[in-house]
């Protein structure tokens, strides 16, 4: 979508008017705002904000997740493994859209000073993947069952500019940035027996700096910074920054997380407003009148991309999803959008997450409600075509799990799904039980509004495939 700088501004203003997010304060001020936002410098600042959104968000996420003295729950100091031991329940509120399919084994690393070594045990053919994201949220490598198999393996993550020799048997993965997020996921059925098996795998994963290779090493305790806001959501913290604060942090981060060669045109443009890689932000080149408006308009423009994406986000049979994640090139608006709504997204070859908020097929597509009954039907042989696994997860309107008598938060082939006489499979989506004989196919819903998310891990890359569109996701229909 080719949008002029003027259109960027007006698009954002249109969204503001529609959602009433901010009050207006008079015709004169509005006219001045339109003139200001129609300027080339303002449009350039919006572009720069969009470009830097992933790096700033990644850093703020790193600060919150690592601001603890020792590993606990979903947090751990830099260079320490986070081992999530069980799936969240309906009371969990730390992270939106949790999953009940994989247990996370993650860590934030600083590979700018020296490489870090990761040792994975033999996974015994269990599905797992260990994507590594750089500071710009690009998934630069993905060890795991799809790519490197499930045998024991050891690799080192090296930073930009590192030159050295690795020990025998240690594979190198080069990060373009100093910030690295190892975001491992290990498949688990959720039974007590499988929890124990995955815990054993997690405990056998090792992480240490290269200088400690072949030695006994204990991670030092983390240093807690009391000034870091540990309660406000990261996205809200980023969105609260004014432009000077935001660009000051962006410039600082680019000193150790450099742009790519493909970013050269953007780097050249950013220099006009005082943002130069390797240097502090020169706010004397930035118009102070833009300090509050740039973040407001830029974020609105990022979120507008969800609806007006020129194919970056697809809408099929009431499901919205994207196959453009993990590797973005110079598609900065898509990268920023994925950061805002799904930080840590995999490459599409590893996972695609169709999401549905309204029923399909009625004259009016209404938001899902537990007062109604719905059915998702997979025709014979046409369940999601994956090599890994698939599931459909139920969330309330705020993207949290839904309490129910079965303690079932998602439904998948793990359940003994019953097929119809013609071989098709119905997923029954409703608040009340459909009866004991049909509960195997029941995805319990709340009484109020809800959202559905499908997870397709390691989708087929050839026919049929959700990646190339040769497999079409079926609609969720209201039962009359």
Shared domain check, 204 and 85: yes
Residue 330 has pLDDT above 90, yes or no: yes
- C-alpha separations of 332 from 49, 50, 53, 54 in Å: 10, 7, 9, 9
3-class DSSP assignment, residue 211: helix
Is 80 exceeded by the pLDDT of residue 294? yes
Whether residue 194 is found in the same domain as residue 241: no
**DSSP code of 198?**
H
Query: Is 50 exceeded by the pLDDT of residue 17?
Result: no
Q: What percent of the chain has pLDDT over 70?
A: 91
106 and 178 within one domain: yes
Kindly write down the DSSP assignment for every residue of 43-56, as one continuous string. HHHHHHHHHHHHHH
Domain boundary residue among 148, 177, 212?
212
Give residue 362's pLDDT.
60
pLDDT at 360: 76
Domain count along the chain: 3
Whether 299 is covered by a domain: the verdict is yes
Residue 281 inside a domain? The answer is yes
Residues 215 and 473: their CA atoms lie apart, in Å, by 51
Asked if residue 190 and residue 79 are part of one domain, the reply reads: yes
Q: What is the Cα–Cα distance from 216 to 361, expressed in whole angstroms?
A: 62
Same domain, 427 and 346: yes
Residues 435 and 394 reside in one and the same domain: yes
Checking if the pLDDT of 19 tops 60, the result is no
Give the Å distances, CA to CA, from 159 to 66, 107, 208.
19, 16, 15
For residue 116, is pLDDT > 90? yes
Residue 79, pLDDT > 80, answer yes
Based on the domain organization, do 472 and 349 belong to the same domain? yes
Four-residue CA torsion sign, 34, 39, 45, 50: positive
Same domain, 196 and 237: no
Mean pLDDT score, 437-447: 97
Percentage, residues of the chain above pLDDT 90 = 86
- Give the model's confidence band at 35: pLDDT under 50 very low, under 70 low, under 90 confident, else very high: very low
- Split at pLDDT 50, 70, 90, the class of 361 is low
Is residue 227, in this structure, part of any structural domain at all? Answer: no
**Is 445 part of any domain?**
yes
Among the listed ranges 10-14, 53-57, 463-467, which one has the minimum average pLDDT value?
A: 10-14
* Nearest to 426, CA basis, from 463, 467, 388, 479: 479
Q: What is the mean pLDDT of residues 21-47?
A: 59
Domain's final residue, options 304, 322, 348? 304
Residue 244 lies in a domain: yes
Q: Please check the confidence at residue 5 and state whether its pLDDT lies above 50.
A: no
Q: What pLDDT shows up at residue 96?
A: 82
Whether the per-residue pLDDT at 327 is higher than 60: the answer is yes
Q: Which residue has better confidence, 235 or 35?
A: 235
Alpha-helical (H) ranges within 139-292 are 192-204, 234-240, 243-253, 264-270
The CATH number covering residue 456 comes to: 2.60.120.600
Q: What angle do CA 18, 20, 21 make, to 5 degrees?
A: 120
| CATH classification at residue 276 | 1.10.3360
In a domain, 327, yes or no: no
Is residue 203 domain-shared with residue 289, that is, in the same domain? no
pTM of the predicted protein model: 0.89
d(CA 154, CA 210): 12
Mean pLDDT of 285-305: 96
Residue 55 has pLDDT above 70, yes or no: yes
CATH number, position 82: 2.60.40.1610
Task: Say what the pLDDT of residue 11 is.
Answer: 27
Q: Are residues 78 and 191 in the same domain?
A: yes
341 and 428 part of one domain: yes
Residue 34 lies in a domain: yes
- The yes-or-no verdict on residue 7 having pLDDT over 80 is no
Residues 39 and 77 in one domain: no
* pLDDT of amino acid 94: 75
Q: For the segment 147-200, what is each residue's pLDDT rounded down to a tens digit? A: 999 999 999 999 998 999 999 999 999 999 999 999 999 999 999 999 999 999
Which pLDDT score is estimated for 38? Answer: 57
Q: Rounded mean pLDDT of 461-475?
A: 94
pLDDT value of position 93: 80
Mean pLDDT of 301-316: 94
Comparing CA positions, the residue from 70, 74, 67, 116 lying closest to residue 94 is 74
Q: 19: which 2 tokens?
A: 């959602």
Residue 144's domain comprises 68-212
Residue 480: pLDDT above 80?
no
Instruction: Tell me which residue of 403, 384, 399, 410 sits closest to 451, measured CA to CA.
Output: 399
From 364, 405, 437, 327, select the one nearest 90 (Cα to Cα): 405
Mean pLDDT of 453-465: 95
| Predicted confidence band of residue 359 (pLDDT cuts 50, 70, 90) | confident
> Is residue 49, in this structure, part of any structural domain at all?
yes
**All residues at 6 or more sequence positions from 49 whose CB lies less than 8 Å from its CB, including other chains:** 243, 246, 247, 294, 295, 298, 299
């Amino acid at each position: 979508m080719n949008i002029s700088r003027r259109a960027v501004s007006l698009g954002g203003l249109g969204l503001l008017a529609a959602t009433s997010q901010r009050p207006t304060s008079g015709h004169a001020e509005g006219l001045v705002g339109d003139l200001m936002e129609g300027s080339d410098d303002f449009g350039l600042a919006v572009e720069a904000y969009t470009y830097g959104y992933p790096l700033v968000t990644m850093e703020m996420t790193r600060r919150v997740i690592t601001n603890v003295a020792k590993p606990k729950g979903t947090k751990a100091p830099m260079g320490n493994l986070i081992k999530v031991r069980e799936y969240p329940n309906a009371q969990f509120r730390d992270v939106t859209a949790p999953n009940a399919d994989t247990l996370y084994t993650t860590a934030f690393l600083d590979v700018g000073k020296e490489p870090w070594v990761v040792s994975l045990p033999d996974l015994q053919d269990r599905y797992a993947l260990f994507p590594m994201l750089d500071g710009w949220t690009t998934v630069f490598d993905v060890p795991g069952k799809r790519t490197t198999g499930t045998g024991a393996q050891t690799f080192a993550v090296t930073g930009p500019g590192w030159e050295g020799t690795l020990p025998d048997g240690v594979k190198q993965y080069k990060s373009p940035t100093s910030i690295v997020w190892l975001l491992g996921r290990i498949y688990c059925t959720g039974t007590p027996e499988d929890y124990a098996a995955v815990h054993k795998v997690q405990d056998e994963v090792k992480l240490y700096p290269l200088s400690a290779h072949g030695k006994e090493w204990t991670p030092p305790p983390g240093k807690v910074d009391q000034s870091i806001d540990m309660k406000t959501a990261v996205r809200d913290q980023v969105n609260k920054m004014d432009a000077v604060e935001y660009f000051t942090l962006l410039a600082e981060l680019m000193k150790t997380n450099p742009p790519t060669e493909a970013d050269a045109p953007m780097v050249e443009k950013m220099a006009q407003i005082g943002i130069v890689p390797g240097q502090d932000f020169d706010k004397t080149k930035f118009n102070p009148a833009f300090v509050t408006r740039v973040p407001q308009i830029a974020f609105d423009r990022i979120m507008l991309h969800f609806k007006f994406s020129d194919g970056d986000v697809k809408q099929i049979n009431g499901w919205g999803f994207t196959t453009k994640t993990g590797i973005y090139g110079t598609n900065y608006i898509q990268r920023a959008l994925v950061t805002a709504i799904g930080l840590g997204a995999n490459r599409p070859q590893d996972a695609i997450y169709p999401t549905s908020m309204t029923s399909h097929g009625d004259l009016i597509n209404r938001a899902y409600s537990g007062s109604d009954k719905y059915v998702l039907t997979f025709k014979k042989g046409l369940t999601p075509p994956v090599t890994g696994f698939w599931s459909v997860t139920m969330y309330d309107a705020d993207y949290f799990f839904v309490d129910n008598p079965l303690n079932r938060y998602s439904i998948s082939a793990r359940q003994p799904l019953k097929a119809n006489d013609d071989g098709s499979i119905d997923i029954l989506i409703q608040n009340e039980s459909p009866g004991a004989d049909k509960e195997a196919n029941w995805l319990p819903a709340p009484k109020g509004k809800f959202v559905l998310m499908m997870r397709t891990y390691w989708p087929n890359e050839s026919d049929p495939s959700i990646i190339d569109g040769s497999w079409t996701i079926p609609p969720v229909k209201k039962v009359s």
